[in-house]
Amino acid sequence: MPPSLEDELFPSTPGKFKIERNHGLMNHRQVYRCFASTSTMFLWALFLIALTASYLSFQSFVDSGRNYLSVSWGGIQWEKQVRTSAQIHRTGGMSVLVTGAAGFVGSHVSLALKRRGDGVVGLDNFNDYYDPSLKKARKSLLTSHGVFIVQGDINDAKLLAKLFDVVAFTHVMHLAAQAGVRYAMENPHSYVHSNIAGLVTLLEACKSANPQPSIVWASSSSVYGLNEKVPFSESDQTDQPASLYAATKKAGEEITHTYNHIYGLSITGLRFFTVYGPWGRPDMAYFSFTRNILQGKPITVYRGKNRVDLARDFTYIDDIVKGCVGSLDTSGKSTGSGGKKRGPAPYRIFNLGNTSPVTVPTLVSILERHLKMKAKRNIVDMPGNGDVPFTHANISSARRELGYKPTTDLQTGLKKFVKWYLSYYGYGKTVN
C-alpha cells in the first residue's frame, strides 16, 4: 500500500517516532518519549539552521573576495595611475577620456593628444571582434608614452561614474563601438549593445558629471546609406541606412541630439570615411588584401551593379586624427550642471574624408606595386550584405569650422601602411 499522509509526515524509521493509539489516549511513557524526541528534533533543526547560515555567510565572503580580486579597476594605486595619465602638461590643455583607446583610431588620437601635452585616459574592453593581440600591442605603445588604459566596458555605469569622480575630464573622445558592416549580419546584438546602449550609458555619465565634458564621437559615412547624391554632404538625408551598423550610427546621431537639447551637452559627431593606415583593423579590405597577397592566397574583389567597380573615399589615419583633434579644440563648452541644462550648447556634425574616391581594383594595384607581388583576384558581384557601391565626402564644413585639410593621397598612405605591416609581422621586405 502507498504510504498515507500521516506516514509521510511521521515515518516509522529508526530514530523517529510513530503515533500509536490506545483507545484514543497515549500513556505517560509515550507522551514523554514524544516530547523528548520533539525536543531533540528542535535542537537538531536549530543546529542545521545555524550551520546553513554560517556556510552562506562564508560563501558570501568567498564570493566577495573573488569579485574583489576579479575587478580590474579601483583602489588607491589605480586612482593614482588614472590621475597621473590625466595630468595636463601644456598651457590651455585639456583632460580627455578616450573610449576605444586600444582601437585603430583611438590609439592614434590618444598618442597625438599626449604628445602635445594633453591629459589622456583610455578605456577599452579589448573584445575579440578581431585579434586582441593587436589591441594589446597598441596598448603597450600608449603605455610607453604615459597613457593609462582602463580595461572596462562603456556599459559599466559604475566604472564611468568612478572615472568622472577621480578626474574632472574636460572632454570625451568617444570612439568605442562595434565596427564592421558585414559582421552585423552575424552578431546584430553586439551593435545594439555597443553603439546604442553603450552610447546612452556614456551620455548619462557625461550629463551627470560636474563639470560636464564636451563630447566628440565617431559616427560614420555609412549613415548616408542608399543616398545617390555625390559628394555626400552633412545636410543630405540619412534616413535610408543600408546596414544595421549604419542604422546604429544614425540612431546615435539622433540620441546625441536629444542629450544636447535636454541636458546642454556640447556634442560633435564625426562621419569617418574609410580610414586606413598603420595599426589598422584587420577586417578592413586593404589589410586583408595585404595579408592574402603576401601569403599567396586569392583576394575577393567585389563589384557593383552592371559590373561597376566599387569606390571608396579612403582617408589616411593622420588626416582623421587632425579632424578629431580639431573637433576637440573647437568643441565649445557644455552648458549643463547636475544634469540640468542652463543654456544652448553646440551641436555639430562633420564629414572627415579625403574627397578623392578610388576604386577597389586601383587600391589592389597600388598594394601590388608596394608589395612587389601580384594578387590572385577573384572578382564577384557584391552580395546584399549592407555594403554600398561608393562613398565620397564633401568636407567644406570641416575645412571651414575645423581647419581640416587632408594631405595624404592613397599612394602615399598605402606605402606607409605596407612599411608598417612588413615590420610588425616580421617580413624581411623593403618598400620603395
Cα torsion through 35, 40, 43, 45, rounded to 10: -100
Write the burial class of residue 350 (CB in 10 Å: 0-12 exposed, 13-18 middle, 19+ buried).
Answer: buried
- Grid look-up 555609412 returns 222
User: Which of 130, 183, 224, 245 is the catalytic position?
Assistant: 245
Q: Where does residue 307 fall: left (phi above 0), alpha (psi -120 to 50 degrees), or beta otherwise?
A: left
Maximal C-alpha separation, the chain: 113
Q: What is the DSSP letter of 309?
A: B
Provide the residue count of the chain. Answer: 432
Q: Where does residue 397 fall: left (phi above 0), alpha (psi -120 to 50 degrees), or beta otherwise?
A: alpha
Instruction: Confirm if 419 and 368 have CB atoms less than 8 A apart.
Output: no
Round to whole Å and give the CA distance between 36 and 38: 5
Distances (CA, A) of 391 to 212, 234, 315, 382: 35, 13, 11, 15
Taking each helix axis from N to C end, the angle separating 198-208 and 244-263, rounded to the nearest 10 degrees, works out to 20
Round to whole Å and give the CA distance between 120 and 111: 9
**286 classed as catalytic:** no
Q: Kind of pairing, strands 358-359 and 311-312?
A: antiparallel
Q: Give catalytic residues, as residue numbers.
A: 245
